[in-house]
Amino acid sequence: MVFRARPFSGGARNMADKPWLFRTYAGHSTPEASNRLYKSNLSRGQTGLSVAFDLPTQTGYDPDHVLSKGEVGKVGVPVSHLGDMRALFDGIPLAKMNTSMTINATAAWLLSLYSALAEEQGASLAELNGTTQNDIIKEYLSRGTYVFPPAPSLRLIRDVILFTTTEMPKWNPMNVCSYHLQEAGATPTQELAYALATAIAVLDEVKEAGVEGEVFETTVGRISFFVNAGMKLVTEIAKMRAFVDLWDEITATRYGVKEAKHRRFRYGVQVNSLGLTEPQPENNVYRILIQTLAVTLSKDARARAVQLPAWNEALGLPRPWDQQWSLRAQQILAYETDILEYADIFNGSAVMDEKVAQLKAEALEELARIDEMGGAITAVQSGFMKGRLVEANARRLAAIESGDLVVVGVNKYEGTEPSPLSTGEGSIQVVPEGVGEQAIERLKAWKDQRDQKAVDKALADLAAAAKEDRNIMGPSIAAAKAGVTTGEWGQTLREIFGEYRAPTGVGKAQKSDREGTGIAEVRKSVEAASATLGRRLKLLVGKPGLDGHSNGAEQIAVRARDCGFEVVYEGIRLTPAEIVNAALEEGVHVVGLSILSGSHLPLVRDVLERMRKEGLDDVPVIVGGIIPPEDERELKAMGVAAVYTPKNFDLTAIMADIVRIAEGAGQKAA
């Protein structure tokens, strides 16, 4: 496809553009605590809400489910029923708010709760303005909060789109989400291709439902995207301009959309959390600002909404002040600079045009490859896309290890003065340990006061709609009003659609032939240790709880395999009991637990207690995640052999540690 240059559109404007929506991604502990945070952020000039839900809510469980243990309120707010939604938005008129909800597998349910609350407030659905992320396809590749198999998941996306197109015309029913693809290691080409392949799969599904003509064009116009911006400033700007061109061309040529406004690439952004560093975290302020420029400088490809991570997210949960600091960066950029006063400053740039053309050509090649396979769903089920992401992430990490990719404060210029920003008591927000028990008590009280007959009828109607392929939204809104809980909604659909375990991508990732990073030396030590122990050194990599961020676990599994370990890795979302059972049955020498949700203390404690009961107390346990120093000390006091955090970027050095830990345990056992 030939690159179509944009026309040069002159210099200064008579009137400045309106700034994008200012958001901060927020929610934790309880609906009441999150409500206070939202009101505080709005009072400081935030212009839209971005709701973070906890992992049980994202995966369709109530707080009392076994998999919810330790996870309630940790990475977002728990919303189990309409009462929680009331508390979350108490005093916030939904008809006047632009709300983004980062929710995917349970998007239809949370939108139903939101709609039911809006009607309680006296608002009509047609007034509501906002977005549900609702991109379940990328969950199989990156974030891991999927629930159902791909086909019914695609059907749920379709149902939300068809419902909102007619009933909620201001609502964006889906963010096609490339953000988490970059977090999983995607190159700019992969980010373009895989996001667009997802959008094509969704629009094909809508077409097959019989939507045509003007209604279809309107539907296309409501699809938005949620993207990421990394540190390669020129490349990231070119990527966004390529997205604009490719979306315009795909919607025009593949789907025949005539109205230019419906072909517009509309997107929100959170800049790259993957690149935030634990060492010298104050440097993250500069990273965040540079990444924000990538999605705001080019007028023709400017974001419609921006939410920025806080500088200390690699350390733990940010405080309100940390979120305010990120909000101020947006406000200074929008109101103190002149970037909104000019036409696109990159039009006519030979350098930019060349880079955009290159990215478009590469993305179209990758899209053609996915098309030949049968589309995005087939590429997910076969493990093709996941394997490519694992490989790309492995190359990124290897470049950091070798120093080819410089990360200031991590692998270069490591000397530092102590930071007054990240030391001392209260330097990060801490979710109280008791929020899970409180949520269970609230859940019980909610169930005690509701009309059980109305609940039973609503769940029966929901099940019937699911079985009969009727739109799920009407029965879901009725269920929300009747008092149905998140776990009940999720379980009803699980019984009909089934559950799914996506390919891990570890088996598809090519083996490394790099010897210069110390892999050869570690292979020798693995061989020697295996000979001493009498069998191949075996490592179990486990992800207990609901944390679906599997990138770190996958890279540990791949590097261990490349170093000669026998690796047991069964993917995400395992109970402590399942992990201990696997350790017992597989006869592993070391158990490695990866937890990034902040639930490391209760989950690791549970695993260790179960291992002791099974007589596995001689098998060492190591833990990786976003773990504050005080928690690291507590984990080691429990008996954990080693703790690794984002500062431990040298995976081969970690492999060498594991060999020594296994040998030490073997000598003790002997």
Nearest by Cα to 104 from 182, 206, 240, 202 = 202
- How far is CA 594 from each of CA 78, 120, 244, 652, rounded to the nearest angstrom? 22, 42, 37, 17
Residue 146 bears catalytic tag: no
Length of the chain: 670
Active-site entry in 74, 355, 386, 549: 549
Active-site entry in 547, 562, 650, 657: 547
Kindly give, in sequence order, each residue whose CB lies less than 8 Å from that of residue 204, ignoring residues fewer than 6 positions away.
375
Task: Give the type of residue at 603.
Answer: L
Q: Answer whether 259's CB lies under 8 Å from 221's CB.
A: yes
Angle value at C-alpha 28, between 482 and 317, nearest 5 degrees? 160
The interaxial angle of helices 384-402 and 551-562, nearest 10 deg, is 70
Active-site entry in 65, 138, 180, 299: 180
Question: Distance (Å, rounded) from C-alpha 636 to C-alpha 627?
Answer: 12
Residue 543 bears catalytic tag: yes
φ, ψ dihedrals at 113, nearest 5°? -60, -45
Kindly give, in sequence order, each residue whose CB lies less than 8 Å from that of residue 310, ignoring residues fewer than 6 positions away.
318, 322, 323, 325, 326
Q: Answer whether 118's CB lies under 8 Å from 86's CB.
A: no
Residue 547 bears catalytic tag: yes
Question: Distance (Å, rounded) from C-alpha 131 to C-alpha 170?
Answer: 9
Active-site entry in 114, 179, 194, 267: 179
* Continuous segment of H or E residues that includes residue 512: none
Dig out the tokens for 30 from the structure.
Answer: 């309880």
> Would you report the helix, strand and coil content of the chain in percent, each value rounded to 5?
55, 10, 40
Question: Distance (Å, rounded) from C-alpha 659 to C-alpha 264?
Answer: 54
Provide the 8-state DSSP code for 641. S
- How far is CA 34 from each of CA 39, 84, 325, 448, rounded to the nearest angstrom? 9, 11, 18, 25
Question: Distance (Å, rounded) from C-alpha 647 to C-alpha 461?
Answer: 51
Q: Answer whether 154's CB lies under 8 Å from 321's CB.
A: no
Active-site entry in 262, 299, 543, 589: 543
SS3 call for 519: helix
Dihedral class, residue 253 (left if φ above 0, else alpha if ψ from -120 to 50, else beta): alpha
SS3 call for 264: coil
Residue 179 bears catalytic tag: yes
Q: Answer whether 616's CB lies under 8 Å from 627's CB.
A: no
Dihedral class, residue 213 (left if φ above 0, else alpha if ψ from -120 to 50, else beta): left
SS3 call for 318: coil
Owner of token pair 């953000």: 179
Task: Give me the active site residues, please.
Answer: 25, 179-180, 543, 547, 549
